[in-house]
Structure 1
Amino acid sequence: MYLSAHKTTKKLGISSDTLRRWLKQGKISAKTSPSGTRLYDISSFFPELITQNDTSTTSITEKKARQ
């Protein structure tokens, strides 16, 4: 699932600086849309979301807490 930077930072509970750093470090992947917007692939960061098809903030927070 690809999201804008704003939505990605909200879903993951991180700052935009952290998101840029993770992109540079290869911890999260992104692509650029035809309009030039960078879209971040949170499913590559949270592979368990692919099988569950659940990207709610609550689910991500619960998964972080369990780890």
Structure 2
Amino acid sequence: MKLLLDWLEHRRSQWPNTTTRVAADRLAEYGVRVRPRDSGQRVLLDEFYSPRCGTLLDARIRVEAATAG
């Protein structure tokens, strides 16, 4: 399993086909109802696509990092 994760992390660092969008907006396109956050950091959806065929290879939901300042 570790080898698979190492391979995925290596490939992910090379993928130019990555999109990041607000999770509530993106999931609404699929008919999924999600309540967006009203304050604080946004919940984001990172999607990683194959550069060859456009297949969605991985999707991750994360909380936006706080900005310094």
Q: Tell me the TM-score normalised to structure 2 length.
A: 0.31
| Structure 1 or 2: more strand by fraction | 2
Greater relative contact order (Cα < 8 A, sep 6+) = 1
Q: Tell me the TM-score normalised to structure 1 length.
A: 0.32
| Structure 1 or 2: more helix by fraction | 1
| Structure of higher CA gyration radius | 2
